[in-house]
Amino acid sequence: MSVHITKVDVAKVAKLARLDMSEADLDRYTEQLAKMLDHFEDIDALDLSGVEPMSQPFPLVNVMRPDVEQPTLDRDEVLAMAPAAEQHRFRVPSILGIDL
């Protein structure tokens, strides 16, 4: 798998990740990410057929908690840390234009 990540790819990824990029940034990151992906080609040598993926280092199941109320946070303490708050709510600029 010799994939060259292109500037178009990087621009798409930057958009998905909500990171503004200048043209120069895009060029620089494209070069760096391409180098990294080239290095990662070493895993292509491995035969991974029949290998189960490992997501969990320690195999636990059924970890749950009872449906019991726990103390909540102090709203004032939380809103004091908000960049913008109004009427006890977090204020954000217009949501229009968000593509989901």
> Restricting to residues 24-83, which ones interact with another protein according to CB under 8 A?
29, 32-33, 35-37, 39-40, 42-43, 46, 48, 51-58, 60-75, 77-79, 81-83
Cα–Cα distance, 35 to 24 (Å, whole number)? 17
Residue 92: partners with Cβ closer than 8 Å, 6 or more residues away: 84
C-beta of 23 vs 77, nearer to another protein: 77
- Compute CA distances 24 → 12, 18, 34, whole Å: 15, 17, 15
Q: How far is the CB of 66 from another protein (least distance, A)?
A: 6
Q: Which of 9, 23, 24, 27 binds another protein (CB under 8 A)?
A: 9
Q: How far is the CB of 27 from another protein (least distance, A)?
A: 13
Side chain identity at 8, as an amino acid letter? Answer: V
Residue 79 CB-density burial (10 A; 0-12 exposed, 13-18 middle, 19+ buried): middle
Q: Which of 2, 6, 13, 24 binds another protein (CB under 8 A)?
A: 13
Q: How far is the CB of 37 from another protein (least distance, A)?
A: 8
Considering only CA atoms, which of 74, 69, 68 is closest in space to residue 88? 74
Q: How far is the CB of 87 from another protein (least distance, A)?
A: 6
